[in-house]
A and B are shown apart, each in its own frame.
Chain A
Amino acid sequence: MNDILEKIALCVEFGKINKVSPYPPDMKDQDGADELAKRALDEGTKPDEILDKALVPAMAKVGNKFSRKEIYVPQMLMAAKAMNSAMVHLKPYFQSGETKRKGKFVIGTVSGDLHDIGKNLVAMMIEGGGWEVIDLGVDVSTEKFMKAMDENPGAVLGLSALLTTTMENMKKTVAAIKEKQPGSKILIGGAPVTKEYCEKIGADYYSPDPQGAVNYLKQLVS
């Protein structure tokens, strides 16, 4: 890996967004993921190299550290912010089709539930895994999930719930999607959700943490 890609990866891993960002203190006044990604493109680095050799592996490191409880939610959020600052420069290449994402991922918190922190963490880690994320927000009806899945053929669906009452709405959504698109893949998560519940309602995968979701998607396209 060349020097600039290594630097971008380090910035993402440790949450260095841009030059003016004071965090982390030992990288103060240094260029962040924002400036470095722009410079890499200006110097001729291919956008998919930035994605695959810097951003995706850096976010995977962050996700694994979080799974091992070596870092906390704030560090993960800062890493995602740094990744997004680099991703801004890649967006035109995604739009033009010059750089391809690994796939599309539709995510939302199910009907009746307004909790979004867990869902947001998963969304940003999956975006960091190189996927295009379509975030439908919170309190999402089955109909809205179905519409998004219709509009994005082949997308993987992620459902989140924080309450045992709203978790029941996952069942309804999974049944409706599976009936219309039997081949679709659905992963679920949230505090009350378990592997057993996942099997019971016919979803494809349960992940207790964001990196597990990223690894599952990676396995789907490998």
Chain B
Amino acid sequence: MTKSTFHFEFNDLNLSVSQIEGIIGYKEGEDSALVSGLIGEILKESEKICNIKAEYIIYKDILFNYADKSLNISEINFQIKRIVFSQIKGSDSVVVFLCTAGKEIGIKSREAMHEKDLLRGYIYDVVGSEIVEAAADLMQNELEKSVISSGKKITNRYSPGYCGWYVGEQHKLFQLVPDNYCGIRLTPSALMDPVKSVSGIIGIGEQVKMNPYTCGLCDQKDCIYRKKRQ
């Protein structure tokens, strides 16, 4: 098992006001005066309050079960379902990763909501989600760089709760990492604490590739990845 840990600075993420506006739904050229100042303010604050960290473990003892489209990692069976299976089945090892923006931004969002400043609470929430996704992108880039010299490639990252993979399998995923790994704990209902965290798997191998079009394979209409792509 190979383990890696990354601490990212907020500025490494290169998040912009227009990027967050796009996530909210604003199209280029649309009047976003209502939110642009607030997004700028919260991005600036995020630099001080976020504790961005990513960790992963590479597992080589994996087994793909073609009959039921499942994957065994270190003898734990994951019912990853058709879409994830089809993208990851050529892997010769699998990364289990966790990534977080830290506690504070989620707390800020909840506090603002509680104080009935719903817009501020909402923007904190969107910015927090974007921070953790951008950090996971950086972690993924680092992983790609580390395997490329051996002629290998990586897949997209896949998380329980997306592409038909049942979110309850988070519990199995967390069995593969040490307690409080990356500073993240799991609630009984499979929610991560801090809330602005992501977890999942990435395949590594000579026969795999990144696929920019996986949303076309999935029928989850409200997924954040689909919205981002649109």
Q: Is A25 an interface residue (CB 8 A)?
A: yes
Contact among A73, A112, A117, A191 with B189 in the assembled complex (CB-CB below 8 Å): A112
Contact B24 A72 (CB under 8 A): yes
The contact of A113 among B119, B161, B166, B191, by CB within 8 Å, is B191
A69 to B26, CA, bound (A): 11
- The answer to whether A112 and B166 touch (CB under 8 A), given A81-B119, A117-B121, A120-B113, is no
Give bound CA distance, A16 to B96, whole Å.
Answer: 48
Question: B26 to chain A: which residues have CB within 8 Å?
Answer: 72
- Contact among A72, A114, A166 with B25 in the assembled complex (CB-CB below 8 Å): A72
Cα(A40)–Cα(B167), bound, Å: 51
Q: Are A113 and B118 in contact (CB under 8 A)?
A: no
Alpha-carbon separation in the docked complex, A25 to B187 (Å): 44
* Complex interface: chain B residues within 8 A of A116 (CB): 110, 113
Query: Size of chain A's interface in residues, with CB distance under 8 A?
Result: 28
Within 8 Å of chain A (Cβ to Cβ): is B59?
A: no
Nearest CB in chain B: distance from A165 CB, A:
5
A74–B118 Cα distance when bound, in Å, is 9
Whether B167 pairs with A165 at a CB distance below 8 angstroms is yes
A15 at interface by CB-CB < 8 Å: yes
Contacts of B189 on A, CB cut-off 8 Å? 111-113, 163, 165-166, 169
Q: Interface 1/0s, chain B 199-230, versus A by CB < 8 A?
A: 00000000000000000000000100000000
Residues of A within 8 A of B118 (CB): 77, 80-81, 120, 124
Q: How many residues from B make CB contacts under 8 Å with A? A: 26
Residue interface bits B112-134, CB-to-A below 8 A is 1, else 0: 01001011011101000000000
A99 at the interface (CB under 8 A from B): no
State how many angstroms separate the Cβ of B209 from the closest Cβ of chain A. 29
- Which A residues lie at the B interface, using CB under 8 A? 15, 23-25, 69, 72-75, 77-78, 80-81, 84, 111-114, 116-117, 120, 124, 163-166, 169, 191
A-contacting residues of B (Cβ < 8 Å)?
24-26, 33-35, 110, 113, 116, 118-119, 121-123, 125, 161, 166-168, 187-191, 195, 222
User: What are 28 residue pairs bridging A and B, where the CB atoms are less than 8 Å apart in the complex?
Assistant: A15-B34, A23-B34, A24-B33, A24-B34, A72-B24, A72-B25, A74-B24, A74-B34, A74-B122, A74-B123, A75-B34, A77-B122, A78-B34, A80-B118, A81-B118, A81-B119, A112-B187, A112-B189, A113-B189, A114-B191, A114-B195, A116-B110, A117-B113, A117-B125, A120-B118, A120-B121, A165-B168, A165-B189
